[in-house]
Amino acid sequence: MITILNRKEVCLTYDVKRQSEVRDILHANGIDYTVKVLNRKSPSPMAAGSRARTGSFGENPSLACEYKIFVHKDDYEKAMHCISK
């Protein structure tokens, strides 16, 4: 089981294809992982967001989501080796 106390980040990307590739590699090698997705345009409790006022004018849609992929710290070395191939 991967928790916040025993995990290490193996990938941070804004590219949906790259995060899919990394997840496929980890799955193929039997490495458990978790993915944290942060929608950079969604409002937070501190800021209501600007999408209602500005829409998507001038935005780069490929930077809308941030993907962080974590593995158990014991699997970190194996995961990094598999990803770097």
> Which pTM was predicted?
0.78
Spatial separation of the C-alpha atoms in residues 19 and 25, rounded to whole Å? 10
Spatial separation of the C-alpha atoms in residues 69 and 19, rounded to whole Å? 8
CB 39 within 8 Å of CB 51: no
Spatial separation of the C-alpha atoms in residues 57 and 41, rounded to whole Å? 12
**What domains can be seen in the chain, in order of their start residue?**
1-41+62-85 (3.30.70.1530)
Spatial separation of the C-alpha atoms in residues 48 and 5, rounded to whole Å? 31
pLDDT truncated to tens, each residue of the chain (85 aa)? 999 999 999 999 999 999 999 999 999 999 999 999 998 776 666 665 555 555 555 556 667 899 999 999 999 999 999 999 8
